[in-house]
């Protein structure tokens, strides 16, 4: 199926829950209302002529601000495909950074489990209904979410100095002088 | 001790000036000490060159050369390694049970050392020719089990504990097929002394026990060889120290000289089972043909053992390792029933002929 | 295998678990320093003696935040970082990134460069599968296959060294082409190696390890992943094909010039046990090496003369605004890059979807009820690289 047909089918089923579709881009993508992403995914997976049984990738994105007043937003992109029908599609959801809650799709695809944990760990997106939403790549007591644009690395981690001392050689030079 | 035999230890003892003036007890103590020193030197030298042999064989099996740098074709490599080990810090981790931890390697090595006492090295040469020689070997080698458990338990490490438990289960289980296959030999010979067993096999290789009561003793030899592989923890039965599963098994926390004692014991045991196999099944110091009897008996004995050791090494660098349950399956459901069949076969053969 | 509970065992023995006889579970930390976790993976195992009740992978010991690095570099500077994602198959990682960027730039690259890319990435696939083969033997207690594998991998690394100077991390496949042309005489040398190597697979590797009775006993019927599980957990590469699913990006979503070659997709058939067991996954890799040899032979025969880097790509790479998910079939499975460009000098967001990351997460479910030694077999059959998991 082409992306147009897939998105048409989604719109037919979910109506205004599908906020926006873009079939012109290099990668056609449909933006979904965050609250209903799990239902949409469930539908995509179980509908026989869609059959998106395989989740390729789940990406958390911090959207760069276009205007100053705008609230910062986070975004989750889902890439999926069908190994039988051999077609693929992409969905995304956009949430405000102040309330970065997205329903988990772990119940739909088990592979989403680790990918969601990674997005939580590095981007700070909270997946509601995830069975074990803990940090996966960073240590459990790490502060902040490294992939956010405004991330500042913590000074000390368990007594160890974290940022590389970039300025130090210059200071030594000054002392020598 | 039989008076007719040459005892190398007593011969040496008599060379010490003024030894006759000592009391009998002192003489016994001194001879025991001498025997220990001789055997230790023998095993240590053997282990050094068995390691060299192992590395060379491994190298050539694996399409490379093995040690080449230290000495001619790497002949001094293992000596250099030994010096390195001797120089290492005598180190014990903080939470180990120090007494057991220190004792275990020496106990393991002691059992490996003790079995060498009864071997018939030549027609007249044997340190102690016990009339229950082979029984003594089986009995002594069992002491290694508690020693290994001591090592595993005292290390306070879960991998060590796993290794020790596996080792105990394995050695205890495999003693049964080994013991049963040895019974086949004893039934043919009718004597348990090692010297008598070897003397029985004189007069050409067709008189060797392995070719008696054909094919039952032949099968018994294979059961013995497989069982002995398991008893000395060689691949494919090297589960107690399976490095890819248990890090290093019961030796995980050991280093330096203590570890070297485990290592010495392992190679000592390899030599021991090689010698037992040669003595019981392959005619010990007897030459394969009468006209070859100008070659000294001890050379035959060592050569036969070395052939068995070579096969052990060869297998190690060829085969993968079994799993614990498969190991037990091989022992209890394959080797033990076959060993019983062999005993019945040998018994019938002996009765009927 | 069903889950075995300590309580059940005690009830079977006629004892009530509450009667004070119930054994405690042993918590075993396998790793991060362990010979067979292939790096710094930690498996938190709850065991009952030798039997595993639960094994939870804990990752992150090698995390370098590749995604963050990529955001701070320009387009070409990301390539050396991709080398380090999966350091055993760097060519394929370069390839995947280059394809993703080119997809967004919408450029054609010269024919010769396409062929060179296919040749080096298939050679890399052989090199990587050789490590998988060798370390599998090592984990099963057979040391010799490991050294045989390294002997033959060495030749491939020598080729790479002559081509681009690197032996492990190449920075070879650039956006728009490759960095260096093949050297004179590569074709003959490579053909000679392929003939030699194909014979080695059939006469040395297979008799020594693949069809060894003990090896089959250890791996067949161990660590079975059903096809449903494989898809649900997003497994790719030999792990997916080992479970009997006929899916290979080189054929089913052809990138570069893979549609020009004639090769078969190897699928696990459960010859020695059940479909999807460890032996199947292992054997998929062995036969894939043979198929890679076929592809390289065809590519070497067809390779044209010409440029090796597209002229449209200047010193400063300009990538239009947009986003794309690009992927290739690496030795371990589907390596995807989710790339967002905002028209700047580097990626605005680059997420790497590494194959090992998805392949590993199945281990918690499939390792239950097996023995400790089987866990090693299962882990090795997934063929993980920690650089690829932690990024």
DSSP output for C220-260: TTSS---HHHHHHTT--THHHHHTT----HHHHS--TTGGG
CA distance A6 to C150: 48
Q: Are β-strands C177-178 and C173-174 bridged in parallel, bridged antiparallel, or unpaired? A: antiparallel
- Residue A177 pLDDT exceeds 70: no
User: Which residues does chain C have within 8 Å of residue B158's beta carbon, measured at their own beta carbons?
Assistant: 26, 28
Classified as helix, coil or strand, C141 is coil
Nearby residues of B101 by Cβ (< 8 Å), 6 or more positions away: B92, B151, B154, B155, B253
Q: Does a structural domain hold residue C227?
A: yes
Distance from CA of B73 to the nearest CA of C (A): 20
Classified as helix, coil or strand, B160 is helix
User: C105 and C249: one domain?
Assistant: yes
Token output for C121: 């990435």
Nearby residues of A80 by Cβ (< 8 Å), 6 or more positions away: A41, A44, A52, A54, A55, A56, A88, A89, A90, A91, A109
Nearby residues of B226 by Cβ (< 8 Å), 6 or more positions away: B177, B330, B335
Q: Are C222 and C374 in contact (CB under 8 A)?
A: yes
Maximal CA-CA distance, chain B: 65
Neighbouring chains to B with at least 3 Cβ pairs closer than 8 Å: C
User: C201 and C333: one domain?
Assistant: yes
DSSP output for C37-106: SSSS-EEEEEEETTEEEEEEEE--TT---HHHHHHHS-TTTHHHHHHTTSTTSHHHHHHHHHHHHHHHHT
Q: Dump pLDDT digits (tens) for C272-306.
A: 888 888 898 899 999 999 999 999 999 989 888 88
- State the complex-level ipTM: 0.83
CA distance C217 to C273: 9
User: C71 and C31: one domain?
Assistant: no
Instruction: Check CB contact under 8 Å for C217 and B235.
Output: no
CA distance C146 to C205: 10
- Helix, strand, coil % over all residues of chain C, rounded to 5: 50, 15, 40
What is the model's pLDDT at position C208?
A: 87
Instruction: Check CB contact under 8 Å for B158 and C141.
Output: no
| The most confident of A35-49, B90-104, C191-205, by mean pLDDT | C191-205
Q: Out of B58, B158, B320, whose CB is closest to C218?
A: B320
Average pLDDT of every residue of chain A? 82
Classified as helix, coil or strand, A22 is strand
Nearby residues of A138 by Cβ (< 8 Å), 6 or more positions away: A121, A122, A146, C60, C63
C-alpha neighbours within 13 Å on the C-beta side of residue B348: 8
CA distance C196 to C207: 16
Q: Does a structural domain hold residue C226?
A: yes
| A vs C: CB pairs below 8 A | 92
Instruction: Check CB contact under 8 Å for A60 and C351.
Output: yes
Q: Dump pLDDT digits (tens) for C331-343.
A: 988 888 998 888 8
Q: Dump pLDDT digits (tens) for C56-71.
A: 888 888 888 888 888 8
Residues in chain B: 353
User: C237 and C182: one domain?
Assistant: yes
Token output for B40: 């230790």
Nearby residues of C167 by Cβ (< 8 Å), 6 or more positions away: C157, C160, C161
Q: Dump pLDDT digits (tens) for C93-134.
A: 889 998 888 888 888 888 888 899 899 999 999 999 999 998
Q: Are C335 and C346 in contact (CB under 8 A)?
A: no
Q: Is C221 on the interface with B (CB under 8 A)?
A: no
User: Which residues does chain C have within 8 Å of residue A26's beta carbon, measured at their own beta carbons?
Assistant: 103-104, 106, 322-324
pLDDT band of B2, cuts 50, 70, 90: very low
CA distance A175 to A171: 6
Average pLDDT of every residue of chain C? 85
Residue A155: Cβ within 10 Å count: 9
Q: Does a structural domain hold residue A24?
A: yes
User: Which residues does chain B have within 8 Å of residue C212's beta carbon, measured at their own beta carbons?
Assistant: 319-320
C-alpha neighbours within 13 Å on the C-beta side of residue C258: 20
Q: Dump pLDDT digits (tens) for C14-41.
A: 455 555 555 667 788 887 888 877 878 8
Q: Dump pLDDT digits (tens) for B227-248.
A: 888 888 887 888 777 667 777 7
What is the model's pLDDT at position C371?
A: 85
- Residue B65 pLDDT exceeds 70: yes
Q: Are C45 and C373 in contact (CB under 8 A)?
A: no
Task: Region of B97 please: left (phi>0), alpha (psi -120 to 50) or beta.
Answer: beta
Please give the residue that has the higher pLDDT: either C126 or A173. Answer: C126
Instruction: Check CB contact under 8 Å for C253 and A60.
Output: no
Distances (CA, A) of B118 to A161, B37, C342: 65, 16, 84
| The most confident of B88-92, B291-295, C125-129, by mean pLDDT | C125-129
pLDDT band of A37, cuts 50, 70, 90: confident
What is the model's pLDDT at position C9?
A: 57
User: C199 and C278: one domain?
Assistant: yes
pLDDT band of B73, cuts 50, 70, 90: confident
User: C133 and C250: one domain?
Assistant: yes
Domain that holds residue C364: 66-390
CA distance C154 to C71: 35
Q: Is C81 on the interface with A (CB under 8 A)?
A: no
Mean pLDDT of B133-151: 86
What is the model's pLDDT at position C126?
A: 92
- Residue B3 pLDDT exceeds 50: no
What is the model's pLDDT at position C18?
A: 54
CA dihedral in degrees (C113, C116, C117, C118; nearest 10)?
Answer: 130
Distance from CA of A176 to the nearest CA of C (A): 33
Instruction: Check CB contact under 8 Å for C35 and B317.
Output: no
Nearby residues of C112 by Cβ (< 8 Å), 6 or more positions away: C181, C303, C304, C305, C306, C307, C308
Domain that holds residue A70: 3-148
What is the model's pLDDT at position B171?
A: 86
User: C44 and C174: one domain?
Assistant: no
Q: Does a structural domain hold residue C1?
A: no
Instruction: Check CB contact under 8 Å for A26 and C342.
Output: no
User: Which residues does chain C have within 8 Å of residue B226's beta carbon, measured at their own beta carbons?
Assistant: none
- Residue C12 pLDDT exceeds 60: no
User: C15 and C84: one domain?
Assistant: no
User: C104 and C33: one domain?
Assistant: no
Nearby residues of B333 by Cβ (< 8 Å), 6 or more positions away: none
- Residue A171 pLDDT exceeds 60: no
Distance from CA of C60 to the nearest CA of A (A): 4
Q: Does a structural domain hold residue A154?
A: no
CA distance C353 to B216: 62
Q: Does a structural domain hold residue C331?
A: yes
Please give the residue that has the higher pLDDT: either B164 or B121. Answer: B164
Mean pLDDT of C210-223: 87
Radius of gyration for the alpha carbons in chain C, expressed in angstroms and rounded: 22
Q: Is C65 on the interface with B (CB under 8 A)?
A: no
Please give the residue that has the higher pLDDT: either C138 or B235. Answer: C138
Instruction: Check CB contact under 8 Å for B63 and C148.
Output: yes
Please give the residue that has the higher pLDDT: either B306 or B21. Answer: B306
CA distance C296 to C189: 12
Nearby residues of C364 by Cβ (< 8 Å), 6 or more positions away: C54, C55, C56, C57
pLDDT band of B283, cuts 50, 70, 90: confident
Q: Are B267 and B112 in contact (CB under 8 A)?
A: no
pLDDT band of A175, cuts 50, 70, 90: low
- Residue B1 pLDDT exceeds 50: no
Q: What is the CATH number of the domain that holds A49?
A: 3.30.460.80
User: C16 and C114: one domain?
Assistant: no
DSSP output for B55-100: HHHHHHHTTS----SSSGGGTTHHHHHHHHHHHS-----TTS-HHH
Q: Does a structural domain hold residue C208?
A: yes
What is the model's pLDDT at position C129?
A: 92
Q: Count up the domains in chain A and report the number.
A: 1
Q: Are A61 and C340 in contact (CB under 8 A)?
A: yes
pLDDT band of A3, cuts 50, 70, 90: confident
Mean pLDDT of A132-141: 86
Q: Is C247 on the interface with B (CB under 8 A)?
A: no
């Amino acid at each position: 199926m082409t992306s147009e047909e897939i998105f048409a089918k989604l719109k037919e089923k979910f109506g205004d829950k599908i906020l926006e579709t873009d079939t012109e881009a290099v990668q056609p993508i449909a933006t979904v209302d965050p609250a209903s992403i799990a239902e949409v995914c469930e539908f995509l997976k179980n509908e026989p002529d869609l059959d998106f049984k395989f989740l390729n990738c789940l990406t958390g994105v911090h959207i760069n601000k276009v205007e100053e007043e705008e609230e910062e937003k986070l975004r989750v992109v889902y890439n999926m495909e069908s190994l039988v029908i051999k077609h693929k599609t992409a969905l995304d959801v956009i949430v405000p950074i102040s309330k970065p809650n997205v329903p988990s799709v772990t119940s739909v695809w088990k592979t989403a489990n680790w990918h969601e944990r990674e997005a939580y760990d590095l981007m700070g997106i909270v997946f509601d209904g995830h069975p074990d939403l803990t940090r996966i790549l960073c240590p459990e007591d790490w502060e902040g979410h490294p992939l956010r644009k405004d991330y500042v690395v913590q000074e000390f981690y368990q007594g160890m100095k974290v940022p590389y001392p970039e300025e130090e050689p210059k200071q030594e030079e000054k002392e020598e002088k | 001790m039989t008076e007719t035999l040459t005892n190398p230890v007593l011969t040496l003892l008599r060379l010490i000036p003024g030894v006759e003036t000592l009391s009998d007890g002192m003489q016994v103590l001194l001879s025991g000490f001498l025997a220990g020193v001789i055997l230790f030197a023998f095993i240590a030298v053997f282990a050094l060159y068995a390691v060299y042999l192992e590395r060379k064989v491994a190298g050539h099996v694996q399409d490379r050369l093995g040690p080449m740098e230290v000495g001619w074709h790497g002949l001094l490599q293992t000596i250099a390694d030994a010096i390195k080990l001797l120089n290492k810090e005598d180190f014990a981790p903080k939470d180990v049970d120090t007494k057991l931890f220190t004792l275990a390697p020496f106990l393991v090595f002691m059992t490996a050392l003790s079995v060498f006492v009864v071997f018939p090295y030549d027609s007249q040469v044997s340190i102690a020719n016990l009339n229950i020689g082979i029984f003594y070997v089986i009995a002594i080698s069992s002491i290694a089990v508690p020693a290994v458990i001591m090592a595993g338990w005292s290390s306070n490490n879960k991998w060590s504990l796993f290794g020790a438990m596996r080792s105990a289960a394995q050695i205890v289980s495999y003693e049964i097929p080994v013991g049963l296959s040895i019974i086949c030999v004893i039934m043919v010979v009718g004597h348990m002394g090692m010297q008598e067993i070897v003397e029985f096999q004189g007069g050409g290789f067709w008189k060797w026990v392995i070719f008696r009561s054909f094919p039952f003793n032949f099968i018994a030899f294979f059961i013995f060889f497989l069982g002995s592989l398991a008893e000395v923890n060689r691949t494919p039965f090297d589960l107690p120290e399976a490095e890819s599963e248990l890090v290093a098994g019961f030796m995980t926390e050991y280093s330096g000289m203590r570890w070297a004692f485990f290592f010495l014991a392992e190679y000592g045991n390899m030599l021991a089972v090689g010698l037992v196999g040669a003595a019981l099944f392959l005619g010990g110091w007897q030459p394969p043909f009468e006209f070859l009897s100008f070659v000294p008996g001890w050379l035959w004995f060592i050569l036969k053992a070395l052939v068995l050791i070579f096969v052990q090494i060869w297998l190690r660098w060829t085969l993968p390792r079994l799993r614990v349950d498969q190991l037990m399956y091989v022992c209890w459901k394959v080797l033990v029933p076959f060993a019983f069949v062999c005993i019945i076969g040998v018994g019938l053969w002996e009765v009927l002929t | 295998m069903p889950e075995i509970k300590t309580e059940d065992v005690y009830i079977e023995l006629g004892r009530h678990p509450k009667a004070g006889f119930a054994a405690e579970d042993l918590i075993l930390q396998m790793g991060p320093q362990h010979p067979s976790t292939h790096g710094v993976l930690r498996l938190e195992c709850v065991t009952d003696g030798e039997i595993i009740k639960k094994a939870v992978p804990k990752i992150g010991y090698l995390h370098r935040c590749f995604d963050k690095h990529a955001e701070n570099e320009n387009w070409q500077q990301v390539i050396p970082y991709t080398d380090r994602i999966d350091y055993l198959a760097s060519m394929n990682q370069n390839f995947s990134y280059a394809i993703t960027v080119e997809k967004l730039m919408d450029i054609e690259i010269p024919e010769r460069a396409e062929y060179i890319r296919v040749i080096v990435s298939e050679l890399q696939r052989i090199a990587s599968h050789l490590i998988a083969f060798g370390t599998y033997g090592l984990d099963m207690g057979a040391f010799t296959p490991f050294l045989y594998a390294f002997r033959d991998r060495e030749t491939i690394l020598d080729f790479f060294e002559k081509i681009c100077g690197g032996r492990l991390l190449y920075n070879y496949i650039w956006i728009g082409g490759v960095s260096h042309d093949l050297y004179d005489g590569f074709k003959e040398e490579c053909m000679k190696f392929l003939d030699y190597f194909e014979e080695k697979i059939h006469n040395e590797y297979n008799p020594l390890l693949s069809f060894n009775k003990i090896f089959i006993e250890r791996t067949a019927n161990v660590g079975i992943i059903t096809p449903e599980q494989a898809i649900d957990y997003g497994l790719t590469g030999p792990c997916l094909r080992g479970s009997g699913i006929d899916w290979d990006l080189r054929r089913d979503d052809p990138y570069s010039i893979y549609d020009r070659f004639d090769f078969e997709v190897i699928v696990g058939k459960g010859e020695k046990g059940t479909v999807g067991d460890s032996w199947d996954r292992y054997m998929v890799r062995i036969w894939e090496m043979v198929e890679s040899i076929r592809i390289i032979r065809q590519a070497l025969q067809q390779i044209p003369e010409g440029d090796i880097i597209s002229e449209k790509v200047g010193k400063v790479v300009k990538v239009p605004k947009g986003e794309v998910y690009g992927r290739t079939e690496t030795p371990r499975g589907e390596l995807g890059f989710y790339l967002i460009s905002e028209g700047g000098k580097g990626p605005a967001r680059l997420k790497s979807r590494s194959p090992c990351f998805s392949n590993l997460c199945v281990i918690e479910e499939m390792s239950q009820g097996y023995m400790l030694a089987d866990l090693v077999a299962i882990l090795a059959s997934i063929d993980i690289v920690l650089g690829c998991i932690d990024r």
